[in-house]
């Protein structure tokens, strides 16, 4: 069955219209309109409850605290992240947080010892993140992400709205924000910080694949350190799953 928003045109057509319509809007305005615009259809937010997640979660709580928030529990997260997720959801009064986990059957078949991340991190991300998220997002026409241009090379040209192939739309309200904007928003709104940030974790994912970063390092340098990989496979460029840094055209 096609989503209701499909009657308004293809995903690419609607993305182009949305970017034109809200090109000069602020982050909170983009979010507010995205949750109400017919071209986005049914919208959910996906959040890792990581180092900077509380900013966008706070905005969602201000605009509509009953927006569905999908939290991927890979069962390899830091204990601090799980505690922080519960605390932030309660602090902001989020009304529809959905904890998403991988199929028990698939985990037993493909990662019975929980060591797949050592042998094949891409396969582990696919099993514990990409597949469960794809299933959870099936009822939605669009999803909100906290991605920002400053985070890595593959995000440098990020727009407010992206086409995820012909599946759905991705909404990036914070695309144009700088690191300083994030810090200022957290201070001004007295938002709780992830406890691992104080220990040098600038970008926080699964415990086995995340390390602290040194002063001056890229914030995502601690994710899959030493591997030719900068995305978990959840995000797409031109309909393709990103599993490694994007090669620049010569």
Domains and CATH numbers, the chain: 7-195 (3.40.50.620)
The predicted pLDDT at position 219 comes to: 73
Count of positions (residues) in the chain:
250
Please report the pLDDT score of residue 242 as a whole number. Answer: 44
Q: Which residue has the tokens 């799980």?
A: 82
Check: CB of residue 88 under 8 Å from CB of residue 194: no
**Can you list the residues of the chain whose pLDDT is less than 70?**
1-8, 151-156, 224, 226-250
Q: Which residues contact 9 (CB under 8 A, 6 or more apart)?
A: 17
Catalytic option among 124, 125, 209, 232: 232
For residue 129, the model assigns a pLDDT of: 93
The pLDDT of residue 28: 96
The pTM (predicted TM-score) of the whole model is: 0.84
Summarised one tens digit per residue, pLDDT across range 128-166 is 999 999 999 999 999 999 988 776 555 567 899 999 988
Active site residue 209: no
Which pLDDT value is given to residue 156? 60
The token duo for 157 is 């040209």
């Amino acid at each position: 069955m096609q989503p209701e928003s499909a009657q308004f045109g293809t995903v690419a057509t609607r993305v182009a219209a949305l970017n034109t319509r809200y090109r000069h809007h602020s982050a909170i305005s983009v979010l507010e309109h995205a949750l109400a615009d017919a071209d986005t259809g049914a919208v959910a937010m996906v959040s890792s409850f990581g180092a900077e997640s509380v900013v966008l979660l706070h905005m969602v709580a201000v605009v509509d605290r009953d927006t569905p928030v999908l939290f991927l529990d890979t069962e390899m997260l830091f204990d601090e992240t799980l505690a922080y997720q519960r605390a932030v959801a309660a602090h902001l009064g989020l009304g529809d947080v959905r904890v998403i986990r991988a199929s028990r059957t698939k985990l037993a078949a493909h990662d019975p010892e929980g060591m797949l991340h050592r042998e094949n991190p891409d396969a582990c991300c696919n099993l514990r993140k990409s597949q469960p998220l794809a299933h959870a997002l099936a009822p939605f026409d669009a999803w909100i992400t906290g991605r920002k241009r400053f985070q890595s090379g593959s995000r440098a040209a990020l727009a407010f709205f992206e086409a995820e192939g012909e599946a759905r739309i991705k909404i990036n309200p914070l695309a144009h924000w700088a690191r300083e904007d994030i810090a200022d928003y957290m201070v001004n709104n007295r938002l709780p910080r992830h406890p691992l940030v104080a220990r040098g974790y600038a970008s926080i994912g699964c415990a086995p694949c995340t390390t602290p970063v040194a002063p001056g390092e890229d914030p995502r340098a601690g994710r899959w350190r030493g591997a030719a990989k900068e995305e978990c496979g959840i995000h797409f460029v031109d309909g393709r799953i990103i599993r490694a840094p994007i090669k620049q055209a010569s």
